[in-house]
Amino acid sequence: MKSLALIAVMLCLAGIPAAARDVRFQQLDPHRYQSFVANWTPEDRPFCAVLRSAADWNRVLKPAPTMGGTRPFAPPAAFWRKHAILLLARILGAGDTATVFQVERVARDPGALRLDYRFAPTPPASSTMKWYLAVAVAKPLPPVARFREDGKIVCTVTPPRHP
**Pairing outcome for strands 128-138 and 83-93:** antiparallel
Write down the pTM of the prediction.
Answer: 0.84
What b-and-e string marks burial along 4-27, b requiring 16 or more CB atoms within 10 Å of the CB? eeeeeeeeeeeeeeeebeebebee
Residue 35 has pLDDT above 90, yes or no: yes
Residue 67 has pLDDT above 70, yes or no: no
Task: Tell me the per-residue pLDDT of 127-140, one tens digit each, with 9 for 90 and over.
Answer: 999 999 999 999 99
Mean pLDDT of the residues in the chain? 88
Residue 16 has pLDDT above 50, yes or no: no
Confidence of residue 4 (pLDDT cuts 50, 70, 90): very low
Q: Which of 131, 135, 107 is nearest to 120 (CA)?
A: 131
Task: Tell me the per-residue pLDDT of 104-124, one tens digit each, with 9 for 90 and over.
Answer: 999 999 999 999 999 999 999
SS3 content of the chain, % helix, strand, coil (to 5): 15, 40, 40
Sheet strands (E) in the chain: 21-22, 26-28, 35-37, 47-51, 61-63, 83-93, 101-109, 112-119, 128-138, 144-149, 152-157
